[in-house]
Amino acid sequence: MREICLDTETTGLKPQEGHRVIEIGAVELVNHIPTGRIYHVYINPERDVPAEAVKVHGITEEFLADKPKFAEIAQEFLDFIGDAPLVIHNAEFDRGFLNWELGMLNMPQIPQERCIDTLMIARRKFPMAQNSLDALCRRFGIDNSHRTLHGALLDAEILAEVYLELIGGRQIGLSLVAEDAAASAPAAAGASAASSAPRRRQRPAPLPPRLTEEDIRRHAAFVETLGDDAMWKKYGV
């Protein structure tokens, strides 16, 4: 299953007031595991970037002056996200801006039902608690110390970690996918079936035996009562 964790930065809060998208960051997940594929672009909004917005994300009008306009990146953005569900924190904000931009170009828009809103998930799981991205990082022990300013790609990467915790934790998914991938990987040319099988991790030291000498003695005495045809005797157990 393919999903896209997505975030945007903008010049303001409402596209209806002329504000525009200036950065898109997206991270691909397959079976809840980041694949390493990302989409990241800065966008020239063709307008000024208010000082209040710069304080949030640090992206200035001067920096964006030579960046592509949204019309120039719209198709490659749509190609990257494909038809995958979009995981977004406070989805209506980002979806609203992206649909405004796409609508101006008469391009396909993002329906609400396609979005997985992690803010809504967090509010259901932790009612009455703070559920900002930073608050969820603190709750789940996710290191976001490098997040001094908002940034679309950085926030999408952090969101991927938060999302995996919200749906049940990272370790379970990592284990299952790793085993599935190993089991389905084709054997190298000339390799034996045994060499292509998934390797099981070994303990650095075996666990100590739990049976006592008395347990072993009693088991042997019990087996003797079963007669010569007992399965225990046939297999030398």
> How do residues 123-178 score in pLDDT, each as one tens digit?
999 999 999 999 999 999 999 887 777 899 999 999 999 999 999 876 544 444 44
Beta-strand relationship, 2-10 and 86-88: parallel
With cut-offs at 50, 70 and 90, classify the pLDDT of residue 219.
confident
Q: Is 89 a catalytic residue?
A: no
CA distance 105 to 192: 55
Q: Look at residue 34 and give its three-state secondary structure.
A: strand
In 102-224, DSSP assigns E strands to: 115-117
| Token pair in block for residue 140 | 């789940």
Where do the domains of the chain lie, and which CATH numbers do they carry?
2-168 (3.30.420.10)
Sheet holding 21-30, edge to edge: 33-42, 21-30, 2-10, 86-88, 115-117
Q: Look at residue 53 and give its three-state secondary structure.
A: helix
How much is the pLDDT for 200?
A: 45
Residue whose entry in the numeric block shows the structure tokens 């926030």: 155
**How far lies 171's CA from each of 31, 174, 198, in Å?**
13, 5, 18
| Cβ neighbours for 46, distance < 8 A, ≥ 6 positions apart | 20, 69
Tell me the helix, strand and coil percentages in the chain, rounded to 5.
Answer: 45, 15, 40
**Residues 179, 184, 187, 193, CA torsion sign:** positive
Active-site option among 19, 32, 57, 150: 150
Higher pLDDT: 235 or 120? It is 120
